């Protein structure tokens, strides 16, 4: 009975205790309220789906990272969701196939993966996001970047920054002024990701070398990118980025890393990553994409607020707690709760208001600070 390992949680899974759970709940609510206010309707997909149906909408690869198990009912393999975006894509393509476009949907829930990574050992996390389905225009992308920033602001994130990228940059240049054979494209992408100048040249990607140095503060990096692109094949892209940037540059620090592809394997022309001061790693990412299986254009983002929760939980406000002594006026508690108090009723005369975390006690003339 006293073996403490009996109560250990599996690696990468944890309990949120009151301060931390309160921060997580407040942040989720603030984010969802923002998405709601921008016209996004919530949908709730199930925790579990057939692996096959998820794989189809994920281009078949990422279910390898899901917890999978056989359904005793259907004898088919089920997967615990590791990403809600694909589920929302499925809903758009099935239950909401006939809903008018652009379709604005949002979601929030827990997701799990079988393995954490070096940067983040968590195997369960909160995902909150919005998808604008039926459009991947500059207007759609601008709305999504603005909305992601607004959701983070509402949740209390400070010093938000947004890093833009052009996920199909190598293909666009290789189809135009800097031709590459198919196998060279793969190598060039890989070495650009690694930012390895020597290997990039060896792979035949000399013309792409300046991209490694075109990352940084948005306006400067966009200027560099423009100057690399003598033929002007990127003009539309750069102009789109500038329009998106203009919409949000008063609310976030903007950077551009045009050849960054990590995490954007499924994005088309536009991607962005969100950061905030004091939060380790990215808080979210988004971009333009095609819904797997239906090939409908969409723009969306996912926020992963667990890092923000960790950053703020120690200071989370748990509210004013009013102790109700055993002999309190029975009409008082409902009135006090309506005024925003949290009430803690004594179960016996031995209950100690201070030990129970109360800030006030109810007396005949009202709350008295402890």
Answer yes or no whether residue 290 interacts with its own copies by CB under 8 A.
no
CB of residue 337 to its own copies, shortest distance in Å: 4
Considering only residues 311-340, where is the footprint of its own copies by CB under 8 A? 318-319, 321, 337
Answer yes or no whether residue 47 interacts with its own copies by CB under 8 A.
yes
- Tell me how far apart the alpha carbons of residues 194 and 188 are, in angstroms, rounded to a whole number: 10
CB of residue 69 to its own copies, shortest distance in Å: 4
What is the per-residue burial (b if ≥16 Cβ within 10 Å, else e) of 14-42?
eeeeebbebbbebbbebbbebbeebebee
Considering only residues 109-148, where is the footprint of its own copies by CB under 8 A? 109-110, 112, 114-115, 123-124, 132, 135, 137, 139-140, 143
- Where do we find the tokens 């009430």? 343
Q: Identify the helix (H) or strand (E) that includes residue 185.
A: helix 182-194
Contact 208, 200 (CB under 8 A): yes
Nearer to its own copies, 107 or 272 (CB): 107
Nearer to its own copies, 21 or 332 (CB): 21
Identify the bridge partners of residue 165 per DSSP, sorted by sequence position: 271
Nearer to its own copies, 49 or 163 (CB): 49
Answer yes or no whether residue 7 interacts with its own copies by CB under 8 A.
yes
Answer yes or no whether residue 370 interacts with its own copies by CB under 8 A.
no
Nearer to its own copies, 32 or 160 (CB): 32
Answer yes or no whether residue 186 interacts with its own copies by CB under 8 A.
no
Residue of 102, 231, 214 lying closest to 166 (CA atoms):
214
- Tell me how far apart the alpha carbons of residues 84 and 106 are, in angstroms, rounded to a whole number: 10
Q: Which stretch binds its own copies (CB under 8 A): 48-56, 180-188, 252-260, 362-370?
A: 48-56
Residue 168 in marked binding region: no
- Tell me how far apart the alpha carbons of residues 312 and 26 are, in angstroms, rounded to a whole number: 11
Nearer to its own copies, 93 or 282 (CB): 93
- Tell me how far apart the alpha carbons of residues 299 and 145 are, in angstroms, rounded to a whole number: 10
Tell me the binding residues for L-histidine.
Answer: 83-85, 113, 127, 131
Binding site: what residues are annotated?
83-85, 113, 127, 131
């Amino acid at each position: 009975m006293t073996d403490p390992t009996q109560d250990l949680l599996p690696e990468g899974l944890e309990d949120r205790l009151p301060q931390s759970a309160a921060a997580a709940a407040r942040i989720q609510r603030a984010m969802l309220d923002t998405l709601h206010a921008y016209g996004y309707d919530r949908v709730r997909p199930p925790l579990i789906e057939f692996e096959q149906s998820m794989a189809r909408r994920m281009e078949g690869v990422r279910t390898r990272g899901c917890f999978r198990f056989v359904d005793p009912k259907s004898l088919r393999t089920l997967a615990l969701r590791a990403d809600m975006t694909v589920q929302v894509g499925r809903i758009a393509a099935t239950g909401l196939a006939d809903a008018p476009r652009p379709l604005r949907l949002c979601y929030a829930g827990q997701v799990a993966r079988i393995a954490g990574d070096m940067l983040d050992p968590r195997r369960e996390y909160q995902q909150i996001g919005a998808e604008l389905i039926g459009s991947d225009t500059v207007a759609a992308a601008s709305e999504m970047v603005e909305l992601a920033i607004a959701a983070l602001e509402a949740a209390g994130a400070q010093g938000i920054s947004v890093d833009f990228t052009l996920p199909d940059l190598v293909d666009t240049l290789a189809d135009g002024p800097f031709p590459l054979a198919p196998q060279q494209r793969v190598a060039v992408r890989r070495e650009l990701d690694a930012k390895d100048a020597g290997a990039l040249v060896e792979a035949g990607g000399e013309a792409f070398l300046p991209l490694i140095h075109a990352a940084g503060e948005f306006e400067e990096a966009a200027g560099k990118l423009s100057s690399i692109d003598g033929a002007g094949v990127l003009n539309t892209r750069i102009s789109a980025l500038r329009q998106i940037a203009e919409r949000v540059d008063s609310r976030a620090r903007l950077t551009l890393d045009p050849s960054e592809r990590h995490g954007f394997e499924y994005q088309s022309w536009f991607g962005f990553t969100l950061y905030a001061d004091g939060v380790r790693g990215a808080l979210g990412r988004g971009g333009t994409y095609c819904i797997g299986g239906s090939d409908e254009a969409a723009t969306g983002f996912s926020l992963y607020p667990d890092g923000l929760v960790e950053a703020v939980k120690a200071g989370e406000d748990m509210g004013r707690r009013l102790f109700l002594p055993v002999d309190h006026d029975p009409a008082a508690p409902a009135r006090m709760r309506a005024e925003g108090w949290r009430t803690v009723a004594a179960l016996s005369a031995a209950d100690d208001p201070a030990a129970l975390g109360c800030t006030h006690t109810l007396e005949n003339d009202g709350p008295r600070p402890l």
